[in-house]
Amino acid sequence: MSRRKTKDEKLYLASQWRLMWWKFLDHRLAVFSCCVLILLYVVAVFCEFVAPCEPNKRAKERSFAPPQTIHILHEGHIHWPFVYGQTQHRDPETLRLYYSPDTERRIPVRFFVKGDPYKLWGLIPMERHLFGLGRVETVNDNGETITTVTRFNLMGCDRLGRDLFSRIIYGSRVSLSIGLVGVFFSLVLGVVIGGISGYYGGRLDILIQRFIEVLRSFPQIPLWMSFSAAMPATWSQLTVYFFMTVILAFITWTSLAQVVRGKILSLREEDYAMAARVAGRKEFSILMRHLMPGFLSHIIVSVTLQIPGMIIAETSLSFLKLGLRPPTISWGVLLQDAQSVSAIRLYPWLMWPIAFVIVAVLMFNFMGDGLRDAADPYSH
Amino acid sequence: MIGYIIRRVLLMIPTLFVISVITFIIIQLPPGDYLTTYIANLQETGEEADEALVESLRVRYGLDKPFYEQYFIWMRGMLLRGDLGQSFSMNNKPVTELIGERVALTVVVTFFAIVFTWIVAIPIGIYSATHQYKVSDYFISVLGFIGMATPEFSLALLVMYFSSEMFGVSVGGLFSDAYIDAPWSWARVGDLLVHIWVPVVILGVAGTAGMIRTMRANLLDQLEMPYVVTARAKGVSETRLLVKYPVRVAINPMISTIGWMLPALFSGSAIVAMVLGLPMIGPLLLRALMEQDMYLAGSLVMIMSVLTVIGTLISDILLAWVDPRIRLERQRS
C-alpha cells in the first residue's frame, strides 16, 4: 500500500519531460530502435575504424568478387570464425572472372587487426580496424619485405574491386547525416514561418497558409529532380551535399510549420496564456517562455518522423544520378551500380545498401511512433 | 453543395497561378539555356556552332526575351490554345504531342494504384483491427512497416531481380514488343493490362501499408463507441454490426487521404517508371531536365501539379458528398 502511494506520488511530482521519458521506455520496440539507431550513428562516426578496407582502394583482381561468408564449421569441427580464401579463374570465352571458395585455405577473422592505414576523421593516423583478416608479410626476390593486407569482402566487391561493405559503412556517414542536416534546415524554416503565421495571424497567416498549400501540391520527386538538375557539374562534393539538404528541406518544412502554427493557435487561448497576458507579459515572451514548452515535444516528434523521408529521398535521387555523385560515397550513390537487371542478376550483392536503407528508415519510424505516444504523457 | 464546388474551383485559380510561376522559376534556374547545352553538345562532337544559326534559333524560341515575357508567352499559349510550347530537343515537336500518351498512362497507373491500395488496405485494416494484438495483427503491422520503409526504386529493383531470377520473366515496360508503337486497339489495351500490374503493385505498396495503419486506428476508435455495444446488446450479428456501422464511419476519413496520396504517387511513379523503363512522365522529365528542354520540363511539372490539385478537389468533394456531417456544417456556415 505504502509503496503504491509513493509510486503515485512520484507520478504526480514528475516533470512533464520525466513522464515522457517513462512512457517512452514502456514502448519496447521504440527503445530497441533507438539503440539500433545509436549503433548506426556510432558506426557512421567511426566509419574509418569500422570498415575493414579503404573504400576507394581498387583491386583489379577482385572485380565483382562475391561476398565471403563467415564460417565456424570446418570438416565437422568448430573453429574461431574464419573465411575461406577465394580462387579465381577467367572464362576464356566470356572473359568474365569467376570466383570459387578455396576450402583448403582458412583465414581467421580477427578483431582490432592492422590493415589499410587511414586517418580517423581525416586527422588521427591509425592502422587498426575493428575486424579484418590482418596482413601478410612476404619477402620478394630482392629480399624486400612486402606487407599485403588480406582483403576481406564481407558483402562482395564492385566492378573496380572496391569492398562493398566498407563503402556502405562510409556511405552511412553521408546518408545518415544528410537527414539530420536536412531536418535542421526544415526545423528552422518551419518554426520561424509557422511561428510567424500563428503568432501574427490575420492576412499574413492566410497568405502563408495558401503558399504552403501550393508548395504541397507539387509532387516532391519531380520538384527535387528539377532542383538537382540546376546543380552545376563543377560544384564540389561539400557544396552538392549542402544544396541537397536545402532542397530536401524545401518542401518538408511546410508540415512542421503547420504543426507549430496549429499549436500556437490552440495554446494561446489557454488560461495560463491569458494569465500571463493579464500579468503584463509581452506577447513575444509569452510565446517563448510559456507556449514554446507546450509544443516542443510535438516538434521533436514531427522532426523525427521527417528524417526517414529525407533518407529515402537522398537515396532515390542519388540512385537516379540526380543527387550526390561519385566520388562521394552514399547509399544512393552505391546503388547506382545496381541499376540494370543484368547487373543485379549477375552480382546480386550490389543490392546490399537497400537493406541498410530499409533498416535505418524502419528504426526511425518505430522510434518516431514511440516518441509520438510519449509526447502526450497525460493521455492515459 | 454546388456553391461549395464552385467556390473550391475558383480558389484553384490563384493556386494554379502561383504553381505556374514557381514551376517556371525552377525550370529557369539552371545556368544557361537550351542553346548553351546545344552548343556544348556540338562542340563535344568537334563541330563549330554557327553564330548566326544560334542567334536565329534564340530569336525563334524566344530565348532572347526577358524572363517575364517568356513566362507570358508560355502562359498565353497554354491558356488560349492549350499549347504547351515546343520541345527543343526533339525536333521542335509540340509538347502536347510528345506527352499526351505518357500523361494518360501515368494517370491510368496512378488510378489503378489507388484502387489497388483501397482494395487491399481496407479488408486487411478491418482484419487487423478486429484481431488486435493477435499474432496475425502483429505480422500485418510488421509487414506494413517494412512496406513503408522500402523506397519505391529499391522495391522495383527487387521485383525485377526476383521475377527474372525465379520466373525468368523480364518485367520492364508497359507493353510487349509487338505493341510498343502500335496504334491503340483492344488488343493493345489487353496487353497493357497484362503488364500494368507490376508498377501498380510497386507504387501501391507504400500507400497500402500506411492506409492499413490508418484504417486499423480509425476502426479501433469506432469499435469502442457505445453505439457498437448497444447494437451488440440488441443482438445484431457481429459481421452485420461491423460492416453496417463502424466500417462505414472508419472509411470516411480515408477519402481525404486521396488528396495527399496523389503527390506521393506521382513522385513514386516518376521513380518507378525510370527504373522499369516505362513510357510515363518520369523518364521524359529526366531527359528534358538534363537537356534544359525548358517548355517540356516545365509542362511536365506543371501537369503533375495540376493533376494533384484536381485530385485534391475531387477527394474534398467526395468527402463532403459521403460524410453528411461535413456537408451539413458547410451548409450552415
pLDDT tens-digit readout, B314-327: 887 887 777 777 66
pTM above 0.90, yes or no: no
Look at residue B16 in the predicted model and tell me its pLDDT: 84
C-alpha span between A120 and A126 (Å, rounded): 7
Q: Which stretches in chain B have pLDDT values below 50?
A: none
Contact A30, A367 (CB under 8 A): yes
Q: Are A217 and B309 a contacting pair, CB within 8 Å?
A: yes
Averages of pLDDT over runs of 10 residues in chain A (380 residues) are 62 74 80 89 86 77 76 75 76 75 75 78 78 73 72 78 85 88 89 84 84 80 79 80 85 85 81 84 79 78 84 86 82 84 79 88 85 68
Instruction: Give the type of residue at B23.
Output: T
Helix (H), strand (E) at residue A145: strand A145-149
Res A226: pLDDT: 80
- The angle formed by the CA atoms of residues A315, A316 and A317, to the nearest 5 degrees, is 95
| DSSP three-state, residue B92 | coil
Residue A82 bridge partners (DSSP): A71, A108
Handedness of CA A52, A54, A56, A61 (dihedral sign): negative
Task: State the cell numbers at A60.
Answer: 583489379
**Phi, psi for A155 (deg, rounded to 5):** -120, 30
Q: Give the mean pLDDT of chain B.
A: 79
Q: Which amino acid is at A351?
A: M
Q: Which of residues 348-377 of A touch B (CB under 8 A)?
A: 348, 351, 354, 357-358, 361-362, 365-366
SS3 A132: strand
Closest chain B residue to A305, measured at CA? B149
pLDDT at A7: 66
**Can you give the pLDDT at residue A378?**
61
- Residue A180 · residue A314 · CB < 8 Å: no
How close does chain B come to A31, measured CA to CA in Å?
Answer: 16
Measure the CA–CA gap between A238 and A248, rounded to whole angstroms.
15
pLDDT of residue B39: 74
- Is A316's CB within 8 Å of B29's CB? no
Q: What is the pLDDT of residue A127?
A: 78
| Residue B133, SS3 per DSSP | coil
Q: How far apart are CA A17 and CA A374, in angstroms?
A: 9
**Whether A358 and B146 lie within 8 Å, measured CB to CB:** yes
Using DSSP's 3-state secondary structure scheme, residue B280 falls into coil
Q: Determine the distance from the C-alpha atom of residue B133 to the mean position of all C-alpha atoms in its chain, rounded to a whole number.
A: 34
Q: Does residue A327 have a cis bond before it (omega within 30 degrees)? A: yes
| Per-residue confidence (pLDDT) for residue A100, from 0 to 100 | 77
Using CA atoms, how far residue A66 sits from A69, A92, A152, A161, A280, in Å, is 9, 20, 11, 10, 72
Q: Which residue of A has its CA nearest to B287?
A: A229
Residue among B233, B234, B227, B250 at smallest CA distance from B130: B250
**Pick from B229, B223, B169, B220: which is nearest to B198 by CA?**
B169
Q: Checking DSSP bridges between strand A110-120 and strand A97-108, what pairing results, if any?
A: unpaired
- Give CA–CA dist B255/B248, Å, rounded: 11
Report the distance separating Cα B316 and Cα A197, nearest Å.
24
Q: Contact B164/A341, CB-based, under 8 Å?
A: yes
Q: In 3-state terms, what secondary structure has residue A119?
A: strand
Determine, for residues A229 and B19 on separate chains, whether the beta-carbon distance falls below 8 Å: no
Nearest CA in chain A to B31: A230
d(CA A362, CA A287): 35
Which amino acid, A62? R
Residues 6 or more apart whose CB falls under 8 angstroms from that of B281 comprise: A222, B99, B102, B103, B106, B266, B269, B270, B273, B300, B303, B304
pLDDT, position A5: 59
In chain B, residues 99-158 whose CB comes closer than 8 Å to chain A: 145-146, 148-154, 157-158
Give yes or no for a contact between B281 and B109, defined as CB atoms under 8 angstroms apart. Answer: no
Q: What is the ipTM of this complex?
A: 0.77
Please name the residue of chain B whose CA is at the shortest distance from the CA of residue A359.
Answer: B149
CA distance A356 to A40: 10
Phi, psi (rounded to 5 degrees) for B324: -60, -25
Amino acid letter, residue A310: M
What is the model's pLDDT at position A334?
87
What Rg do the C-alpha atoms of chain A give, in angstroms?
Answer: 27
Gap from B177 CA to chain A (nearest CA, Å): 18
C-alpha cell at A101: 571458395
B256-271 as b/e: b if 16+ CB within 10 A: bbbbbbbbbbbbbbbb
Q: How far is CA A343 from the centre of its chain?
A: 26
Closest by Cα among A23, A110, A36, A52 to A365: A36
Yes or no, beta carbons of A226 and B27 under 8 Å apart: yes
What are B10's three cell numbers? Answer: 475558383
Can you read off the three cell numbers belonging to residue B301?
Answer: 511539372
Q: DSSP character for A348? A: G
CB proximity B277 to A under 8 Å = no
Residues from chain B contacting residue A315 (CB–CB below 8 Å): 151, 153-154
